[in-house]
Structure 1
Amino acid sequence: MTTHIPAREIAERPIGYAGPNLSPTGLRLAPRTLASGVHALLATIPPKDNNGLVTGRDAALVVDAGITPDVARMIQDRCAELTARPLRYLVNTTYHGDHTFGNAAFPSETVIVSSRANRDNMGDLGYEKQVRSGNMYGDEALFDAVREWRRPNLTFDGHAEIDLGGRIVQLWHFGPGNGPGDTVVYVPDARVAWTGNLLAHAGIAHMLLQGGPQPYLATLRAVREALPDLATIVPGHGPMGDGPAAIDALVAYLERLHAEVTDSVAAGHTLEESIARCTDPWAGELDPTLVAALASYQIPQDQAVHGMRELCRNLHRLNILATYRLYTAR
């Protein structure tokens, strides 16, 4: 099968689908220091957006901008509590509005950096608001404050490096995954990567919004080869996790998804039949390491575990739908 990346993410959703609640209502960002000058800014309610701060001798770099200008200002406030270095760089891990709508609220002198593919997908603010409104759960009016979609003014294709003064930060675009331009921010001396929507804690379902299992698999294998020393990932959503374990878990999931949907299409099954036939890894208990990680949130653990299981089952059905539509269109 040939690789095909749709120009826009799939708009169709399974019957009864409930996606992640990304509304910033109630959001707080809890700093966690991973190494000297390397800080995760973790959402206190899953699966709202995480951020990050990396500092060097001369400058600081922020990972992702938040879903509204108010969230962007919250990110800057947390950064000011952690460093006096100027916020010289802001990296967008994806073009999605929950990571980029806050761009315009950063100082004009802050250089926004991302993959060329992400920038190329930041052209229609109205459409992006419409798409992300499905994840706002009644708080769509908060998008009224988003009047400008500030695009990256510095882009790269495969790999770039930023020198913050005594600390190098690597930026990688390995290929399509959740979207066409997923950007990984890697700090080699800390062995920490911010992975955006590309890679989450092992046991969390990912979303195939703008591609398919095969290109995603190629991207993950490239990550594994390029970053052999990777230890910790800070995903765009959900708890931090072990990087190699997360890659292994997602590779296994995508391989099975590809095989099962391919077989179902070949057998002439309908979409509904395919969803029923494909293995649901979240029908039972969650990965024990994920359950332990969910205990860090400021909500009851049983609530966090139940919510994560139901979200993963919904995302899994969406992945089957997206793969089925992709494979039946060939």
Structure 2
Amino acid sequence: MSRSRIPEREIAERPEGFGGPNLSPVGLELAPHEFAEGVYALMATIPPKDNNGVVAGRDAALVIDAGITPEVSAKIRAAVADLTDRPLRYLVNTTYHGDHTFGNAAFPDEVVIVSSRVNKENMSDLAYEKETRSANMYGDGALLDAVTTWRRPDLTFDSHAEIDLGGRVVQLHHFGPGNGPGDTVVYVPDTRTAWTGNFVCHAGVGHMLLQGGPEPYAESLRRMREALPELETIVPGHGPMGDGPAAIDWFIGYLERLHDEVLGSVQAGRRLEETFAVCTNPWAERLDPALSAALARYPVPRELAQEGMLALCRDLHRLNILSTYRLYGSQ
């Protein structure tokens, strides 16, 4: 079996004691951050809950991701109305995951939903997706009862598309498999800012390998680095915004090391628990200093943000070892 094979569904297995990201919308507030007139990040005030974005041109506005419930979708649409008087015409889904797409159905019919073709193909089983995301609702899974339909994208693209909002062009990119098979990056050239969804987070966060291994993921990131040479800032789907090139470089290095160490462990005949022990853990002692500084800007107790992110990064790392071990061990 090829190490580049992309499974049809994300891995369901989790390491013992895995907590994972808190996707519950309880307590969620979205704070706008202005990059330029008409270009805003909507930052969740509690990390790692979902971030969003708003981009407006002369003629129309675009929103990035839809939230996990209709109630969250309403918050996003209210934020758009507060920030621009341009009509909302487009909604971009950066991934098919429900915390980014369950709110699609709450947007008016005239809002055109856009995403990669692969993302749309993965939006096929609402019950399964709700069950999968409910594992990270931290006791608030009943809120997903409000999600009764899964509106799929109206327009799709394979690798690249552009949306002209009137005097401002927004680029959409699918660089290849990553956290999922269809990750979509939204790039605004005039602000050198990219909304990356689950594809890449702030440097120092090793995001989850849910559908595939580290080799194709790293290659997708290299394509992003080559395609966006003027990129400065990323707004991830979860956690703080940060230096885009630094995040890409850091994550490529992490994935390359993960590949080498897990493959070596499999070839040596080690069991999974032994593989956990021999793989380098970047979070064994502390968070990356730049990530720690970014978390200090959140309006929550610093220790809570730091300790929560450190525990999450350790969980994600163990999941990445497990998923890579299962992929390589099946060959």
Mapped partners of 2:159, 2:310: distance in 1 = 34
Partner of 1:122: 123
Mapped partners of 1:35, 1:83: distance in 2 = 12
Mapped partners of 1:86, 1:141: distance in 2 = 33
Give the 3-state SS of the residue equivalent to 1:132 in structure 2: helix
| 1:284 Cα deviation after fit | 1.4
2:243 corresponds to 1:214: no
2:113 corresponds to 1:112: yes
Mapped partners of 1:278, 1:314: distance in 2 = 14
Partner of 2:271: 270
Mapped partners of 1:294, 1:199: distance in 2 = 17
One-letter amino acid matched to 2:214: P
Partner of 1:168: 169
Partner of 1:57: 58
Mapped partners of 1:2, 1:245: distance in 2 = 26
One-letter amino acid matched to 2:219: A
Give the 3-state SS of the residue equivalent to 1:273 in structure 2: helix
Deviation readout 1:234-281 (Å, 9 max, x if unpaired): 000000000000001001100000000010000000011101110110
| 1:185 Cα deviation after fit | 0.2
Query: Runs of 5+ in structure 1 lacking a partner?
Result: none
Partner of 1:238: 239
Partner of 2:69: 68
The total of aligned residue pairs comes to: 330
Partner of 1:91: 92
Mapped partners of 1:252, 1:222: distance in 2 = 15
Give the 3-state SS of the residue equivalent to 1:102 in structure 2: helix
Mapped partners of 1:287, 1:120: distance in 2 = 36
Mapped partners of 1:87, 1:210: distance in 2 = 32
Residues 3 and 328, structure 2, Cα contact 8 Å, conserved in 1: no
| 1:209 Cα deviation after fit | 0.2
One-letter amino acid matched to 2:114: V
Deviation readout 1:176-203 (Å, 9 max, x if unpaired): 0000000000000100000000010000
Give the 3-state SS of the residue equivalent to 1:46 in structure 2: coil
Mapped partners of 2:242, 2:108: distance in 1 = 31
One-letter amino acid matched to 1:76: R
Partner of 1:280: 281
Mapped partners of 1:2, 1:16: distance in 2 = 27
| 1:232 Cα deviation after fit | 0.3
Give the 3-state SS of the residue equivalent to 2:187 in structure 1: strand
One-letter amino acid matched to 2:241: M
Partner of 2:189: 188
Mapped partners of 2:269, 2:57: distance in 1 = 57
Mapped partners of 2:286, 2:134: distance in 1 = 31
2:301 corresponds to 1:300: yes
Residues 3 and 327, structure 2, Cα contact 8 Å, conserved in 1: no
2:30 corresponds to 1:29: yes
Mapped partners of 2:313, 2:47: distance in 1 = 12
Aligned sequence identity (%): 71
| 1:82 Cα deviation after fit | 0.2
Give the 3-state SS of the residue equivalent to 1:45 in structure 2: coil
2:149 corresponds to 1:148: yes
| 1:288 Cα deviation after fit | 1.2
Query: Runs of 5+ in structure 2 lacking a partner?
Result: none
Partner of 2:21: 20
Partner of 1:157: 158
| 1:2 Cα deviation after fit | 4.5
One-letter amino acid matched to 1:270: R
Mapped partners of 1:285, 1:270: distance in 2 = 27
Residues 3 and 215, structure 2, Cα contact 8 Å, conserved in 1: no
Deviates more, 1:290-299 or 1:139-148: 290-299
